[in-house]
Each structure stands twice: as C-alpha cells, then as structure tokens.
C-alpha cells in the first residue's frame, strides 16, 4: 500500500467518524428540540380545540334555550289566536240579535209614524236603520273571518250564469251610486258565460269591489264593470276614477284590517276585512285577485280571475 492510498483510507475513516458524530449530535439535540416543539404545538392545538368545543357547547345550549322559548311563544300565539277567533265569532253572533231588534223596532216606528209627523223623528229613524245596516255588514265580515281562521269557510260550487249575476249586483249597487251621482256602467259580454262556483260568495266579491269603487269615487264620478273570458278563465274588472292607490299599498291592501291611506273619513266606515275575505273566496275557487293603479289621483282597477271549471286543488280545499 502506497503512502497516497493510506492517506485516502484514513481520510475516509475520519469522514465516516465525523458523519457519525454529526448524526448523533443532530439526533440528540436537534431532533429532541423538534419533538418538544411538536408536542408543545399539539398541546396548544388540543387546548384550542377544547376551548372551541366549550364555546360551541355554550352556543348550542343558548340556541336550544331560544328554540324552547320560540316554541313556547308559538304555542302561546296559537292559543291567543284561537281565543281571538272564538271571541270574534261570539261577538259577531251575539250582537246580531240586539241589532236585529233595534232594526225591527226602528222599522216599526217608521211605519207607525203618522203622516205629516215630526220630520226630525223620521231622520233619526233613518239614521238608526243605516247604522244597524252598517253594523250587520261588519258582523257578517267578522263571522266570515272567524270561519276562515277556523277552517269552516266552505264553497258550494254550482253552475250559474256570470252575466246574470253581474247584472243583479249592478242593479243593487245602482241605488248607492245614484245617491252620490256616480255613473255606474256595465260593459256587456256578447254571450252567456256559465261558471262552476259558489254564486253567493262570488256575488260577495263583486259587491265588495263595486261597493268600494262607489265609496271611493268622487261625487259625480264613474265606476265601470266588465268581464271577458280567455282560455277557459274569466277575468272581471271593476274600475273607478277615485283617489288611486300608492304602489307601496298594493301589497298590503288585501291584508286583514288594513286600510289604505286615502281618505280618513272613509276609513271609519269599515274594518278593512272586505278585500281580505274577497281574496280568500277567489283563492278558494283557484283564481287570483289584484289591483292596478297609476298612483294617487289616477283611479284604480280591481280585478279577479275565475276558472270556468274548478281546478282540483281548489275543489279539494273547498
């Protein structure tokens, strides 16, 4: 072995020994420090998880408490709503009898009054009769709302001539229109239209819409009623040249007890139930109801649709 070969061999041996020493130092100090760092990080991570679990548990408990409160509130609201419906039904039913008695006695006094008697007495009796008529209509609305909320609002579908029904309503409403000097016009449809629906309830809808149009139309104004049939669906429209309806009111006007901000004196004449009841009636027949108005002072057009033949969903609901 030459001197150069011995030098190379010793160099390789020294390099191997230094590598072993470096590995031992790294393993003993660096890796141990890394393990301590990893363990510390794992410990902190577990603490964070435990803290988050405690926070989540607290929020879950709070949410369960809120759900229980909401459940109790819903039960209380349901109970109060049932009490309100029963109260409305009882009030409407029990007030009808004394109102009928007042109306009967007032009518009897008017017939029994001598000819040429005190004119003030006749005026007072007329006012009593008008007041009792208004109260009877309000009681009817209350009874209908009570029946709707209790699920006893039924439809009796029978075939009838819609044109004849509209003529009957126009004839009855013409008296109220004449008192205000309002021109009430019906546009004739060229043929007879038979629909399968509850005639009384549909007449209630038309009476409500025409009555409202007459009530809100100005003195000497105009109210128009028309209908047409397209693809088996009847559309009826009642238009007036009254104060109109704000765009923001269109979504609210069919809500119970809601009255549009148009004339405060007219608002006192009802409770805002007529349009809500009309909507229930039309929906029960599978139709739609709505209103169109260009704004205040532009008049309004109320419309409703009615299928000539009842749809299955409406028939099942009725």
The H-assigned helical ranges of 180-240 are 199-216
Report the 10 Å Cβ neighbour count for 144.
Answer: 21
Identify which of 185, 184, 182 has the alpha carbon closest to the alpha carbon of residue 217: 182
C-alpha–C-alpha distance, residues 62 and 55, integer Å = 11
φ, ψ of residue 261 in degrees (nearest 5): -80, 80
Tokens matching residue 298: 């532009």
- Given a cut of 80, whether residue 64 has pLDDT beyond it is yes
pLDDT tens digits for 213-237? 998 888 888 999 999 999 889 999 9
pLDDT tens digits for 248-271? 777 788 887 666 655 544 444 555
pLDDT tens digits for 81-125? 777 666 666 666 667 677 777 777 777 777 766 555 557 777 777
The pLDDT-based confidence of 162 (bands split at 50, 70, 90) is: very high
Name the burial class of residue 48, with classes exposed (0-12), middle (13-18) and buried (19+) by CB atoms within 10 angstroms of its CB.
exposed
Verdict on whether the full-model pTM lies above 0.85: no
């Amino acid at each position: 072995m030459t001197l150069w070969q011995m030098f190379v061999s010793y160099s390789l041996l020294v390099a191997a020994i230094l590598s072993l020493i470096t590995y031992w130092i790294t393993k003993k100090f660096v890796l141990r420090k890394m393990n301590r760092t990893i363990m510390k990080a794992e410990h902190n991570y577990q603490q964070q998880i435990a803290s988050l679990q405690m926070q989540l548990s607290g929020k879950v408990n709070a949410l369960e408490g809120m759900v229980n409160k909401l459940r109790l509130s819903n039960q209380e609201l349901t109970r109060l709503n049932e009490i309100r419906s029963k109260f409305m039904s009882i009030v409407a039913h029990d007030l009808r009898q004394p109102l009928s008695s007042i109306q009967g006695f007032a009518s009897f006094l008017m017939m029994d009054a001598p000819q040429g008697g005190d004119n003030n007495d006749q005026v007072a009796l007329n006012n009593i009769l008008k007041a009792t008529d208004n109260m009877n209509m309000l009681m009817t609305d209350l009874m209908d709302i009570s029946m709707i909320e209790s699920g006893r609002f039924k439809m009796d579908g029978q075939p009838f001539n819609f044109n004849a029904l509209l003529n009957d309503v126009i004839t009855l409403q013409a008296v109220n229109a004449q008192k205000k000097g309002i021109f009430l016009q019906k546009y004739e449809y060229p043929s007879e239209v038979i629909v399968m629906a509850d005639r009384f309830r549909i007449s209630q809808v038309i009476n409500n819409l025409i009555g409202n149009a007459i009530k809100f139309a100005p003195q000497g104004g105009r109210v128009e009623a028309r209908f047409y049939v397209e693809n088996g669906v009847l559309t009826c429209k009642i238009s007036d040249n009254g104060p109109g309806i704000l765009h923001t009111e269109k979504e609210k006007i069919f809500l119970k007890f809601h009255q549009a901000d148009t004339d405060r004196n007219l608002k006192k004449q009802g409770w805002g139930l007529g349009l809500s009841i009309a909507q229930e009636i039309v929906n029960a027949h599978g139709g739609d109801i709505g209103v169109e108005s260009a704004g205040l002072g532009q008049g309004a057009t109320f419309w409703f649709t009615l299928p000539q033949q009842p749809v299955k969903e409406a028939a099942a609901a009725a």
